[in-house]
Amino acid sequence: MVSSGGRVAVLGGGVAGLTAATELAERGYRVTVLEPTGWGGKARSSAVPGSGTGGRLDLPSEHGFRFFPGFYRSLPDTLRRIPVAGRPDGVAGNLREATHMLTARSGRVGELLTDVSLAAGARSPLEFFRATGLRPGNGTALGPGLTDEELLYYANRLLVYMTSSDERRLGQWESTSWWDFTRADGASEEYRRTCVVGNTRTVVAARAEVCSTHTVGGFLEAFGYGFLGLGEVQAADRVLNAPTSTAWIDPWVAHLEALGVRTELGWAVDRLTVAGGAVTGAVLRGPRGRREELTADHYVCALPVDRIGALLERGLAAADPELKSVTELRTDWMVGIQFYLTEPVPVVRGHVQYLDSPWALTSISQAQFWDCDFRATYGDGTVADCLSVDISDWDTPGIRYGKPARECTRAEVAAEVWAQLCDGLNGPGRPTLHRGLLHSWHLDPAVRGLDGPGPAVNDEPLLINTTGSWAARPAAATAAPNLFMAGDHARCPVNLATMEGANQSARLAVNALLAAAGDDAAPAEVHELHRPAELRRLKEVDAELYRQGRAHILDGPAPWEEAGRARDRVAVHEYA
């Protein structure tokens, strides 16, 4: 059977929804995409209203900076298919390589600069160490207090995960927190900060104590392979050459409209109507309270996880009662704040991770990557750079006010973040940041209530993959024959709330729709993560060990646990 050209309603215009619309429109379906807030969802950029003068654009802002790791494969494929004038590879031509990564430390003591562009081409351990800045035989390169013994054990943790079978990953590591897997209890503060907490709070906004090893281990594995040039491209890290909406989202929406997709901004799904086990319509709420009903042959629910809960009692659960498990999924805050500077401050050509910041900050200096004169293009003519920062921990007291971010005013949040940036970037005689550079700042407006009267809320939180959460995540197909689920909370090869995961989930939803419709159109390609053939046999051995109820062959206690047991044995002997 060839494509029916049926009608599809895509509920949500984030990365997942726009991906689904692209794949379906290319296969001849008549698609309507509904988005209540802004095209691109959490991936979109916005602007500081009224900040542009003299014909310049308003200062650009982001919910958080974007980056495209080397392990992304499905999303770059979509980017290449979005046409841009003068770019033979479409939006993908707007990506620029971020060549370095700085791990900043308080007072710049023990900071680590990694040349990720060299690491991807390393052909020997020596070349790799030169690229990373690590010094073999000297674990303190990552900071004071981290021993070689701890560094080697952390390497063991990564090796255990990389050689674990799929059965163990889902059966054991899914229910094991990253904190427990890395044996954080009893370890040094530096080991916890560097190897355990830093990899979760600053990258995926999740606490090591609750985030599953299935998620964190999988992400570090994928990122590591991309770091070594084993991903979609040689570049381990890429960023856009302009604000996200300018470089990517706006051309995407224009491309969809050229394909005949009907795009409806400002419309939210109020409820679904269900009859005979199938969805028969979507009741919409639009501008100025207007209400309409949209009918289609198929429905793709690409709403963010935090918005699905309200729809459950309004038809979604009637379509598939199993979807109620989505309410078990947890979210946390990863919020962007931009500092506009009067002079260029590139810091490093890539991302900065502030390992000692209590608010788990990461940043990137944007102007160095953008194909424009920032001062002439944006603001009032005095702004030369934008330092874009993500705040990933909103519950730990800061260094200036001694309060968590949730309890600060917006101005206090900005001042606290600036203080933590200065703590990581400024050293004796080396002031990278100072107050004279700061023109203004802008905190994501999705965070409301910081200035009172009630508790602060975040309208766009991020999914975190807690232990056991895989079972609560929806599959692409549902019990309703014409309803399909997409979004970074849906199951897909990238087990993490990322743009790649959103893109992959939409492709899976499209493929489920094609199957349900009996459509023999070519399915959307869902790219698997890199799996080195060299580890295949070790994973087969582990699969057999897991079936026998035995531990991974390389899994063992940490050195500090062994030392503690030895002390206990001595104490028992002396008491006896």
Query: What tens-digit pLDDT sequence spans the chain (576 residues)?
Result: 344 579 999 999 999 999 999 999 999 999 999 999 999 999 999 999 999 999 999 999 998 778 999 899 999 999 999 999 999 999 999 999 999 999 999 998 888 888 888 766 665 555 655 566 555 444 434 455 678 889 899 999 999 999 999 999 999 999 999 999 999 999 999 999 888 988 777 666 678 899 999 999 999 999 888 888 776 677 889 999 999 999 999 999 999 999 999 999 999 999 999 999 999 999 999 998 889 999 999 999 999 999 998 899 999 999 999 999 999 999 999 999 999 999 999 999 999 999 999 999 999 999 999 999 999 999 999 999 999 999 999 999 999 999 999 999 999 999 999 999 999 999 887 678 999 999 999 999 999 999 988 799 999 999 999 999 999 999 999 999 999 999 999 999 998 889 999 999 999 999 999 999 999 999 999 998 989 999 999 999 999 999 999 999 999 999 998 765 554 444 434 445
Return the pLDDT at 117.
82
3-state secondary structure of 207: coil
321/313 Cα distance (integer angstroms): 10
- Give the full edge-to-edge strand order of the sheet including 278-285: 268-275, 278-285, 291-294
CA-CA-CA-CA torsion sign (491, 492, 498, 502): negative
pLDDT at 136: 46
Q: What's the pLDDT score for residue 563?
A: 63
Q: What is the structure's pLDDT at 454? A: 79
pTM above 0.75, yes or no: yes
**Domain map of the chain by residue range?**
7-43+243-330+463-516, 46-98+236-242+332-458, 116-234+535-571
Please tell me the distance from the alpha carbon of residue 479 to that of residue 472, in angstroms, as a whole number.
15
Q: Is 385 helix (H, G, I), strand (E, B) or coil?
A: strand
Report pLDDT for 224. Answer: 85
Q: Is 398 exposed, middle or buried (0-12, 13-18, 19+ CB in 10 A)?
A: buried
- Going by C-alpha positions, the residue among 486, 503, 22 that lies closest to residue 254 is 22
| CATH number for the segment(s) 7-43+243-330+463-516 | 3.50.50.60
Q: Rounded to 5 degrees, what angle do the CA atoms 397, 433, 366 make?
A: 95
Dihedral over Cα of 123, 125, 129, 134: its sign? positive
Q: Give dist(CA 227, CA 221) in Å, integer.
A: 10
Structure tokens at 99: 């060549």
The 8 Å CB, 24+ separation contacts for 195-202 are: 195/146, 195/150, 195/151, 195/154, 195/157, 197/360, 198/353, 198/355, 198/360, 201/360, 201/392, 201/393, 202/353, 202/354, 202/355, 202/360, 202/361, 202/362, 202/390, 202/392
Q: Is 198 left (phi over 0), alpha (psi -120 to 50) or beta?
A: alpha
Contacts 24+ apart (CB under 8 A), 285-291: none
Kindly report the backbone phi and psi dihedral angles of residue 152, in degrees, each rounded to the nearest multiple of 5, phi listed first. Answer: -65, -35
Nearest alpha carbon to residue 535 among 158, 73, 215: 158
Integer Rg of the chain from CA: 24
Are 319 and 478 a contacting pair, CB within 8 Å? yes
Q: How far is CA 365 from CA 65, 74, 260, 512, in A?
A: 10, 27, 38, 41
**pLDDT score recorded for residue 536:** 95
